[in-house]
Structure 1
Amino acid sequence: MTSAPEEEVRATALDVAQSLSGKAGSTLGTIKSRLYTEVLATLRDTTNPLG
């Protein structure tokens, strides 16, 4: 079994990463909003902003 040249692997990795990069924004936003629900609620609270 032969391995692919480093340049070929790098090019393929960049192509895959670029194809997925547009999906990251909304997905990361959803993950963070679910992970930090309580913190975000406190920050958005205008009646008692210090929690």
Structure 2
Amino acid sequence: MYIGYVRVSRSEENPENQVQAIRRFVGEDKEVKIFMDVGVSGVIPAKKRKG
């Protein structure tokens, strides 16, 4: 299994573009667990983000 991480900071950004890029990179037939941070700025340290 592969793990992918997607983060978009603005609601108008589409996380699906990043998800599809990850799936293409690992191979469409591979199992991928995707973690998403939607609406979270990259300025916020990971330890201070929800979840």
Please report the TM-score for the alignment, with normalisation by the length of structure 2: 0.29
Question: Which protein is richer in helix relative to its size?
Answer: 1
Question: Which protein is richer in strand relative to its size?
Answer: 2
Please report the TM-score for the alignment, with normalisation by the length of structure 1: 0.29
Structure whose CA Rg is larger: 1
**Whose RCO is larger (CA < 8 A, sep 6+)?**
2
